[in-house]
Each structure stands twice: as C-alpha cells, then as structure tokens.
Amino acid sequence: MTSFSVTEAELPVRMRRFLADIDEGQVYSLKSLRSNRRSMGSTLRGLVATARSLGLPAKLNTQTAEAYIVRLLDDGWHTNSLGGPKSLLRHYAYETDEGVEWALASSATDRRPLELIFRSIHWAPFRALIPDIRVTFTKPEIRMIDRWLRHKKAHVRVDAEMVGRFRADHTTFSKLAAMMSTIDPENLDNVILQQAQRNRKHLAVGYIKSAGKLPYHDLPEPFATDMAKLFNKNCGLSFSRLKAICSALRRLCSASARAGLPIELTMETSKAFVDTLFEDDLKLRSVAGYCDFLACFAKKAGYRHEIYAALMEVHNAVKLEANTELRRKEHKLAQYPIDLVDVAATAHRLLNNAFDQDDIRKRRRDYVLAGALALLCKLQLRSGDLRNGLVGKEFVRDSEGWSVDLTTSKTGTAIKGRLAAELTRYLDAVLLMDVSEAHLWSVYTQRIGTALFGNPSCGWQPFGKNWLWHNMTQQLHHGPHIVRTLIYDAIAADPYLDASVAQALCGHGSLTSRKFYEVEANRHRQRLGTELLCSFLQGLNDDGSDSSISQ
C-alpha cells in the first residue's frame, strides 16, 4: 500500500478549500465526491508529495499528474486500477479549474457539466450571453467552445499553426468558426478559424485541387494542335477570344458529327456548322459571333481563304439583320428597370443588414457584395479586374481612405487615383468582413498580396468568376456589366455631360464602344432635343422673328 508523508493540513490552499467544500456540501458532484472523500484526500496528498519530491509545482497539471501515475505504477499498482485516481483528479480539475487540460487529454470523452464549464474565467466576457448560448448550442458544442477558449488562452496569438494543434475531428471542428462568430462576431480569430476549418476538411477527405485545364484540352486533332500553337505564340488574340474560338470549334465538331462528315474544317463542314447554328434557334447576335470566331480561327491557323471569306460573309449579313433584334439586355431592362441609384441603394441595404445575418457565410457574402456594388457605382471595372485586384497593389488603404492603381485586362487602360470617400466604409467592410474596425490595420497587413474580393475559406483566393454575377442577379436581376449601360444612359440623360465622360468612366478606348452599352440613351437624347426645340420655339414671335431682338 502506498503511503504519503504529506498531510491534508500541508496541502495547498486550493486543495484544502476543495476538501472543505466536500465536507460542507458545496461541490457540484456532491454525492460522488462525498462517498469518495477519503480517497480524494489520499489522491491529492499523493499528487503533492510526488510533485515536491521531484521539485515540481504543488498543483495539478500534465507534468505532476503523469509523475504521480508513474509513482503508483512503481509502487505496484496495476494499470487497470489507475482509473480511480485519474477519475478523482479529473473531478478536482473540473470543480476547481486547475489542470483541466490534463483532465481533458486523459479522458476518452468530454462529459463536463455545463455549470462547471461556465465557472471558468475565460467565459467572463460572455456571461450575459450564457442563457442564449445554452438554448442555441448543444452540450457537446458548448464543451468544444470551452476547449477552444482554453486552447486560445494558452497561446500568444491565433494563427494557422496554433489552430492546427487544437484537438477535434474535422466534422466537429467545422462548426467552431460559425459558433465563435455567433458568440464573438467581431473577433479577428474567426476568419483564421474558417480558413483552418476548410484546410482540415480537405486533409480529412484527401482533397487535392485539380490543375486547371486549357480551353482546348477536349478538342480533337488537328484542332487541338492548332489551338495549342495559337495559345503558345503571340497571335494578337486575347485569352477570352481564344476561349470563344474553342467554343466555336466544339460546335463545328458537333455539327460535322450530326451531318456524318469528317471532323475537319472545310467548306462542307463550315456549311453544316452554319446550318446547325440556325437550327439551334440561337439569337442572331450569337450566330454572327460564332461565325466570326470560326472565321478568325480559319485565318490564324492557315486554312483556305475561301472558308474565312464565306464565314465572314454570313457573319456580316447576320450581324446587319441582328441590329433590328432586341438584345437580351434590353429585354431584361424592360422587365426589371433599374438605374444607378437602385444599385447604390442595394449596396447600402446589404451593408447595413449584413451584421444581422445569422449564417456566417451569408453575412460575409453580403459584406463582399455590398462593397462590389458600391465600387461598381463609382468605378466601372469589369468583373475579372474587380475579383483579381490585390490588397496593397491594385487596392491600397491609407489613413485617408482607399486608392486604386490597376490596368484593365481587356483594353490595358490604366486606372489610378483615390477612390471616393463614400466607398471607404464599404471597402473596409470587405476587408474586415465581420471583424471589428479596431483590427483594421492588423487585418490589412495580413491581407496584403491577397484578393480584396477574396474568399476567406479558400485562403483569400478570388471568388469564382460567376460569383458576382450570380449574387448580383439575385438582388437586382442584372449582372455587373449592366452598370456600364446605366452609366452611358445616365450620361445621355444629363444635358451638361458628354458621352466622353462615360467613355472615361468605363475605360473604353473608343467612343464606338458606347453603341454596345447604350439602351435608353437615344430616348434621353430625343427628349432633350425636343425640350430644346420647344424652348427655342417659345422664344419666337408669331412672324418667326426672335422675340428677344424685337424687344
């Protein structure tokens, strides 16, 4: 039998107080502890005696608990008999909040009563929320939140490495970011938690991001080789146009197969290609576009000139006819009329209401979408330029606000200067999401080199290319490019502004670009012309002379 030289009177104050609470019936697990009062005193005396003999602090922690267990084994205790002392030490840990880390690590499951959990000092900032927390979360979820708060208290800062050491399976851990965002919504650590949560899930399921495929990867020969050459050399075509050519080639392959022709570009397959375009009931502008793309390919890849000429002839004829056809954008604007004020008002509403979103993903979506809409109202960037703009490079924050310095991907137009002061709170919200403004500069420093309009759960990589279109369409029934049309129409409606203002705002290299974006502009010009003519007529006398001169 193991004997210890330390008496209960020689125990540290906290241990003596705990034993007195058992005697006085002041502990939570009173029934269990009172029946094991003598064993508890013996266990604590053994722990302290072992700690002092090894020069360790006289308290319960991982080091002293393990040393005590080793001593019991050395004294002849069987491994199966150690459950009793361990259970008593865990009771002591949960009741006094001393050595809880060892108690949790040594137990297969966490079954702590919530009453003991909420006693801990790290719950002090959330005391007022405890009734709501009890209702909102399950007991296992509250225990995990407590473990996270303890883990956080033991570290200087929260980063990916620190989060990686937190013990929890990916299924349980996946809820932690959302729960902490509900309890402490403005804390910077929540964003790091969400990133770590996604990484842990990918590791658990063995996720490996596949490499991106080139647009011509599925084209048959000889088209795959022809397109590879165009992609690899300076052919004078933009990446988007090369992708469109690949799409036209797929239609050519499909048309050739339907007509029972070999997969090649000849006059015969070109005719089948055009016939299929009309059979598929495409818009005339789409038919003209596909003919243009295939004609461009025939010319650049060195096919017979007559193929190019025939396709361009169809393109020109269909394009001329398409001028009488209402564009899809015109249909949508007639069905869902909006102007720039509507876009700005939607951004304002999203920003003001985002904080009230319970779901963390929806909340962050609304912050980012509000910033994107507000920016588009002031700076008509294309979706790709907006998504790929980096913090500290294209978008820079200083003490005065935000500034922009980028070159548009389509036309190479340089856009540089300070953004309107009204945009500051919107772009700050995109940067911070639901983190407090007190962390602005620390967040900004961390985010340098990442996409401003980036996904926090994907390491701040830009949102998908359809993300902005999808979410903006849900709010306004229109995609981001509609803002260019609204700009041109608004400029046309203002008698004091010239179309060159809209050209500058939209970054267009030529005034001819305006015809692709104007929808209501001609109506506004007709109205202004009519008003000007009326005012001129009102100034004439009955005989047609100028009334101002006769006076």
Residue 202: its pLDDT value, please?
62
pLDDT digit string (tens) for 537-549?
Answer: 565 555 555 554 4
3-state secondary structure 59-106: CCCHHHHHHHHHHHHHCCCCHHHHHHHHHHHHHHHHHHCCCHHHHHHH
Which of 270, 267, 255, 264 lies closest to 220, judged by CA? Answer: 264
Bridge partners, 546 (sequence order)? 540
Confirm if 472 and 478 have CB atoms less than 8 A apart: yes
| Greater model confidence, 503 or 453 | 453
pLDDT score, position 517: 46
Global pTM value? 0.62
pLDDT tens-place string over residues 352-375: 998 888 777 888 899 999 999 999
Copy the structure tokens of residue 430. Answer: 């995109």
* pLDDT tens digits along 23-62: 999 999 889 999 999 999 999 999 999 999 999 999 999 9
Q: Is the dihedral of CA 480, 486, 488, 494 positive or negative?
A: negative
**pLDDT (mean) for 160-180:** 78
Task: Please answer whether residues 427 and 452 qualify as being in contact, where contact means their C-beta atoms are separated by less than 8 angstroms.
Answer: yes
For a pLDDT cut of 90, what percent of the chain falls above it?
Answer: 42
pLDDT at 516: 46
Q: Given this model, what pLDDT does residue 506 score?
A: 55
Pair 42, 4: CB distance under 8 Å: yes
CA distances to 371, 372, 516 from 472, in Å: 12, 9, 21
Long-range residue pairs from 321-327, CB within 8 A, at least 24 positions apart, any chain: 321/284, 322/283, 322/284, 322/285, 322/287, 322/288, 325/283, 325/284, 325/285, 327/285, 327/519
**Shortest CA distance to 175 belongs to which of 20, 360, 385?**
360
pLDDT in the model for residue 395:
95
Is residue 206 over pLDDT 70?
A: no
What's the pLDDT at 62?
A: 93
In the block, tokens 């990442």 appear at 450
Q: What percent of the chain has pLDDT over 70?
A: 84
For residue 293, give the 3-state DSSP assignment: helix
Query: Counting beta carbons within 10 angstroms of the beta carbon of residue 109, is it exposed (0 to 12), middle (13 to 18) or buried (19 or more)?
Result: exposed
Mean pLDDT of the chain: 83
pLDDT of res. 521: 47
Overall average pLDDT of the 85-98 stretch: 93
pLDDT digits (tens, 9 = 90+) for 388-440: 999 999 999 999 999 999 988 777 778 889 999 999 999 999 998 878 888 89
Q: pLDDT value at position 495?
A: 56
Q: Scan for tokens 């919530």, then name that residue.
A: 114
Give tens-digit pLDDT for 269-310: 999 999 999 888 888 889 999 999 999 999 999 999 999 999
Instruction: Tell me what pLDDT residue 524 has.
Output: 47
